[in-house]
């Protein structure tokens, strides 16, 4: 850390933080926003809610089989940006997006893109567990049936079992697959939602603060699962927990007031960030 991290003068801290990149129209993100083996690329993405701009010219690649953590203060735009990656913002009438987002080279905002199939390829796990009011089995089988991914019941049974095993839930629910998913504990419900997402073999999994409503034990299980799943999938996780970002990710992106300030290897971001705003957030001077 540089000397600024130890500065305790309130006026100096205020000046440092208020001098943000939104005041610089030519500001560019610190760090390498591209990767060689990208599953998804984004270039010059801007997001507007009516007349208010929420995301400013963000470019950021998601690498294959990597965990990318997005951190920053509340309202900094990280969840808004995450929702762009599988067009969840389409559900908001006043939301407008420009720029380029490509999945394996395909423009996801093209008129020819089937949004239902896109969301199968880019799954989402939300902040609050949201199992369907169906059985455990039917929760996992839902997407498989929707997309016609199984030819018969034995094949569907195998897909459901495999997804529950990969989500670390099979041993806990194998004897109650016909019981409501909503009857599981909070941590189990979140793993059920993860099983539902991976049952249709997505390429990328988006996670929007997936552990914020969970206790420490359930959180630890989800974090272990993220590490295991990254062997097969690319994962983007939004988190308010810097400790969690440090534990689970290989790259970290820091957002501030709608701009991507800095991105880089997680260990570098947390031990030797280049930008004063990243440093201020990491060291707890604001947030």
- pLDDT of 73-126, one tens digit each? 999 999 999 999 999 999 999 999 999 999 999 999 999 999 999 999 999 999
In a domain, 287, yes or no: no
Q: Domain count of the chain?
A: 1
pLDDT at residue 188 tops 70? yes
The token duo for 48 is: 């507007």
- For residue 234, give its domain range: 3-282
pLDDT at residue 17 tops 60? no
Average pLDDT of the segment spanning 186-199: 96
CA count, 13 A, side-chain hemisphere, 97: 24
In a domain, 138, yes or no: yes
What was the pLDDT predicted at 27? 79
What was the pLDDT predicted at 12? 41
pLDDT at residue 199 tops 80? yes
Q: Give the residue among 93, 79, 89 at the shortest CA–CA distance from 109.
A: 89
- pLDDT band, very low/low/confident/very high, at 24 (cuts 50, 70, 90): low
pLDDT at residue 54 tops 70? yes
- Of the chain, the percentage scoring pLDDT greater than 70 comes to 91
Q: Give the residue among 181, 205, 221, 223 at the shortest CA–CA distance from 122.
A: 205
In a domain, 258, yes or no: yes
Report the CATH number that the domain containing residue 251 is assigned in CATH.
3.40.50.300
Average pLDDT of the segment spanning 241-257: 96
In a domain, 75, yes or no: yes
What was the pLDDT predicted at 9? 40
CA distances for 182 relative to 90, 128, 145, 186, 190, angstroms: 27, 12, 20, 9, 10
pTM of this prediction? 0.88
């Amino acid at each position: 850390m540089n000397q600024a991290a130890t500065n305790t003068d309130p006026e100096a801290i205020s000046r440092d933080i208020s001098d943000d990149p939104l005041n610089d129209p030519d500001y560019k993100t610190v760090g390498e926003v591209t990767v060689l083996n990208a599953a998804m690329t984004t270039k010059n993405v801007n997001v507007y809610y009516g007349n208010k701009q929420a995301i400013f010219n963000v470019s950021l690649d998601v690498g294959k089989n990597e965990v990318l953590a997005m951190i920053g203060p509340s309202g900094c735009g990280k969840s808004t940006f995450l929702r762009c990656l599988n067009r969840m913002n389409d559900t908001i009438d006043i939301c407008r997006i420009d720029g380029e987002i490509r999945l394996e080279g395909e423009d996801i905002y093209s008129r020819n893109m089937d949004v239902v199939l896109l969301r199968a390829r880019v799954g989402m796990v939300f902040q609050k567990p949201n199992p369907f009011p169906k059985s455990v089995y039917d929760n996992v089988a839902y997407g498989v049936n929707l997309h016609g991914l199984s030819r018969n019941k034995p094949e569907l049974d195998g897909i459901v079992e495999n997804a529950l095993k990969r989500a670390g839930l099979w041993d806990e629910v194998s004897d109650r697959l016909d019981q409501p998913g909503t009857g599981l504990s909070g941590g189990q419900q979140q793993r059920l939602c993860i099983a539902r997402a991976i049952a249709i073999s997505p390429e990328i999994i988006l996670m929007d603060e997936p552990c914020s409503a969970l206790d420490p034990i359930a959180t630890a299980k989800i974090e272990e699962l993220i590490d295991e799943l990254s062997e097969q999938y690319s994962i983007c996780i939004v988190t308010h927990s810097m400790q969690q970002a440090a534990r689970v990710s290989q790259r970290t992106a820091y957002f501030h007031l709608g701009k991507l300030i800095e991105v880089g290897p997680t260990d570098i971001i947390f031990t030797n960030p280049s930008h004063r705003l990243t440093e201020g957030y990491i060291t707890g001077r604001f947030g």
